[in-house]
Amino acid sequence: MQSLIQAMNSSDLAEVPEGIGDIDWIRAAGMAGQRHSTAVSLWQLCELGDLRAGRQAVAGAMAEAVKLGNEERAAEAAATVIEWMMHPTCKPCHGRGFDLIPGAGRPTLSDHACTHCGGTGQRPRPWRDDEKALYDRLTELQAQAAAAIIKRIKDRAGA
């Protein structure tokens, strides 16, 4: 459930009572999955590598693209964005954002930003506007789903 936890903002997370186990997260994610199926299937596909969620994730993303008025390129935009979400890490720097100091005994970061990602640690996104809009929409849906999961867990715990 690391992926869910990362998706939630830290102030929300601080309010979650102690003693919440994986089973509680999974149960809450399952319930949220019924109403937030696109967001949850994207997590399953992109963060957990569960390819069985691929069909639902792509169908959900395409539906969102259509809602954004992008009927013509819905499939293409969904493919571009989901492919990036499956592999967001900059390969040359392994997500560190900075080059390593050559010859250092242990991996040591230099102060040279990685030239491939400009220090972000993420793969570049040379996207069209409709693809950027779809990405924003999908991350918004994931934030909503994360909030729903947090709420459910808090309610269960009686917090």
Residues making contact with Zn ion (CB under 5 A) = 90, 93, 114, 116-117
- Shortest reach from residue 88's CB to Zn ion, in Å: 11
The DSSP code sequence of 2-70 is HHHHHHS-HHHHHTSPTT--HHHHHHHHHHHHHH-HHHHHHIIIIIT--GGGHHHHHHHHHHHHHHTT-
- Shortest reach from residue 127's CB to Zn ion, in Å: 18
Give the CA distances from residue 1 to residues 18, 26, 51, 86, 112, in Å, rounded to whole numbers and listed in that order. Answer: 15, 7, 17, 16, 33
For Zn ion, the closer of residues 32 and 117 by Cβ is 117
- Shortest reach from residue 120's CB to Zn ion, in Å: 7
Q: Which residues of 21-42 are buried (b: 16+ CB within 10 A; e: fewer)?
A: eeebbeebbeebbeebbbbbbb
For Zn ion, the closer of residues 8 and 101 by Cβ is 101
- Shortest reach from residue 108's CB to Zn ion, in Å: 16
For Zn ion, the closer of residues 27 and 116 by Cβ is 116
Please tell me the distance from the alpha carbon of residue 156 to that of residue 139, in angstroms, as a whole number: 26
For Zn ion, the closer of residues 63 and 109 by Cβ is 109
- Shortest reach from residue 92's CB to Zn ion, in Å: 5
For Zn ion, the closer of residues 9 and 110 by Cβ is 110
